[in-house]
Structure 1
């Protein structure tokens, strides 16, 4: 009889822990989904692929919530998972060879048709050139310019030294500008 009580107690405890994990996961999804999806989209430049990656991120998060060590905050942890999932995604041969499509939110919706076209073409070229950069430059540029993270936040997220972030940001920007000067880009960065 005593063992049955203990088994019942363990079952109730496990159920309560699972409920807590689900509540926390729902909170994390509501709070960080937009930022994480932006990161995934900037890596993949595809809405459906970025949604798939974010689903993988939250599945991984759910299964590893008990392993979270509170060495960083949840946003940093989820951003790191997202970047790793994006890198895994880009390692696939078929995905690496896809041509990137333009970011819709970078295309102006005001001005003349000619201005909109020029801005659209510049956005396409910018994304193409970002996609060609090495991962170490691409991830820092995406986090800094598109996700609007500080260098300190990027340092914590990527687990690299602050000066390394500064160096990669500068070198990545210079590489991007050099590549853009040889292309059809007529905008500013």
Structure 2
């Protein structure tokens, strides 16, 4: 029996909820944490938000109306938690302090040392992370979480045509950035 089928059968069974939550955490824990990390860029915060997502799922499980797949529903919760965190005062204050710290730290670094620190293996991921959230989230859901266009549309609450446009434009931006990088140009 798939996790979706098991969830459908046990939504109203309060005694089974702990077992269902454990199954959900086993099934989705790692991918949700990676997804959340793609938004917040901090593993500790991603862990906290992943736990918050599971708490919300546990509390709202009986409200799951099965209009979409369970995967889409839980990813939507995780995305919304991530976006709420990014809008929070705590996050904006943290980012401002971090930028000030990095400015002070980088003053003594020469350009060659900074270049050598970049690992070619992570170039694509860094490029994807450099995209604005609206392109990055569609890109990551499609290519890294294997969401279809309809699932992305539902998870982000945007039309499929918008999903297609953002996916196409995100791909174009990644291509431009990577080709500029190969030519030795800087992107910004």
Q: What is the TM-score normalised by the length of structure 2?
A: 0.67
Structure 2, unpaired ranges of 5+ = 1-11, 100-115
Tell me the residue number matched to 1:135: 133
Aligned counterparts of 1:82 and 1:51: Cα–Cα separation in 2:
11
| Aligned equivalent of 2:150 | 152
Residue in structure 2 matched with residue 78 of structure 1 by the alignment = 74
Quote the Cα distance in structure 2 between the aligned partners of 1:60 and 1:148. 23
Whether the aligned pair in 1 keeps the contact of 2:39 and 2:133 (CA below 8 Å) is no
The structure having more radius of gyration, on CA atoms, is 1
| 1:177 is aligned to 2:182 | no
Deviations 1:66-124 (A, max 9, x none): 2211111211111001111111222220354557xxxxxxxxxxxxxxxxx7982462x
Which structure 1 residue ranges, 5 or more long, are not aligned?
A: 1-15, 100-116
The answer to whether the 8 Å contact 2:153/2:159 transfers is yes
Q: Give distance in 2, aligned partners of 1:87 and 1:180.
A: 27
1:59-138 alignment runs, 5 A limit: 59-91=55-87, 92-97=91-96, 98=98, 120-121=119-120, 123=122, 125-138=123-136
Residue 52 of structure 2 is matched in structure 1 by 56
Query: What displacement does 1:35 show?
Result: 1.7
Counterparts of 1:137 and 1:49, CA distance in 2: 22
Question: Which of 159, 162, 182 is the matching residue for 2:160?
Answer: 162
2:139 & 2:175 partners in 1: Cα distance? 12
Tell me, in whole angstroms, the C-alpha distance in 2 between the residues paired with 1:185 and 1:49.
36
Equivalent pairs counted in the alignment come to 153
Change (3 A) 1:34 1:161: same
**Structure-1 residue corresponding to 2:16:** 20
Q: Which runs of 4+ in 1 moved over 6 A?
A: none
Once the two structures are superposed, residues 126-171 of structure 1 have per-residue CA deviations (whole angstroms, 9 ceiling, x without a partner) of 4444334332111101112222323233223223322221111011
Spell out, residue by residue over 1:45-66, the C-alpha distance to the aligned partner (whole angstroms, 9 max, x if none). Answer: 3322211110010011111112
Q: Is the 8 A contact 1:126 1:185 kept in 2?
A: no
Q: 1:184 to 1:171 in 2, by over 3 A?
A: same
User: Normalized against structure 1, the TM-score is what?
Assistant: 0.67
